[in-house]
């Protein structure tokens, strides 16, 4: 089989490299679903690491075998790493460019809450969230998130407001609507 094989819906199958599989299957008990060719037909199988560049597979009917990485095709295009940075990279393309209070380039998700919070100082954000959310005050929130960097603190405060906005809490909804586009 070639490194990329044509399939019926005009997509190409991409073979894993040994490095990609080693990154994904970094412990012997890990398993992934992938496609392989058996008797000229593609089948989805479970793949686990075997030894020295070999991988074991098992089909749904119990057939077991071994093969090399070049014969294992990804169900989705492999990224080379299976970690948070790749997940973030995937979703970051949908983010809205912005400028932070300090003037640095920034990104946000583009929803109403993010738009309303744009250009707010972190201290002002703590005060705002403490005022809008029942049962919280700025000092308690600051203590809760003090171990995080400023961006993570801001993200967590925004997520708290976003959750309240989605729940339809009147004070939060009203504040967001009043501050859109400022």
For 101-151, what is the HEC assignment?
CCCCEEEECCCHHHHHHCCCCHHHHHHHHHHHCCCCCHHHHHHHHCCCCHH
CA distance 179 to 119: 11
Task: State whether CATH 2.30.30 applies to domain 4-71.
Answer: yes
Per-residue model confidence as pLDDT tens for the chain (182 residues):
333 343 434 345 677 777 777 777 766 677 778 888 887 778 888 888 887 778 888 888 888 889 888 888 777 654 555 566 666 666 666 778 888 888 888 777 788 898 899 888 999 999 999 999 999 999 999 999 999 998 899 989 999 999 999 999 999 999 999 988 66
**Range(s) within the chain of domains with CATH label 2.30.30:** 4-71
CA distance 26 to 18: 11
CA distance 142 to 160: 13
| Residue pLDDT, tens place only, 39-71 | 777 888 888 888 777 888 888 888 888 988 888
């Amino acid at each position: 089989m070639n490194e990329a094989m044509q399939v019926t819906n005009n997509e190409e199958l991409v073979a894993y490299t040994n490095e990609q599989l080693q990154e994904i299957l970094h412990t012997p008990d890990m398993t992934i679903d992938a496609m392989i060719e058996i008797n000229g037909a593609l089948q989805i199988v479970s793949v686990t690491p075997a030894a020295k560049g070999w991988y074991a597979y098992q089909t749904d009917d119990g057939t077991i075998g071994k093969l090399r990485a070049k014969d294992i095709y990804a169900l989705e295009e492999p990224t080379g790493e299976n970690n948070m940075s790749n997940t973030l990279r995937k979703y970051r393309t949908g983010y809205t460019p912005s400028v932070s209070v300090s003037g640095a380039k920034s990104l946000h998700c583009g929803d109403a809450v993010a738009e309303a919070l744009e250009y707010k100082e972190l201290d002002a954000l703590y005060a705002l969230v403490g005022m809008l959310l029942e049962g919280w005050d700025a000092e308690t929130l600051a203590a809760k998130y003090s171990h995080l960097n400023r961006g993570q603190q801001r993200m967590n405060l925004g997520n708290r407001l976003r959750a309240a906005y989605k729940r339809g809490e009147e004070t939060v909804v009203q504040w967001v609507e009043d501050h859109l586009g400022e």
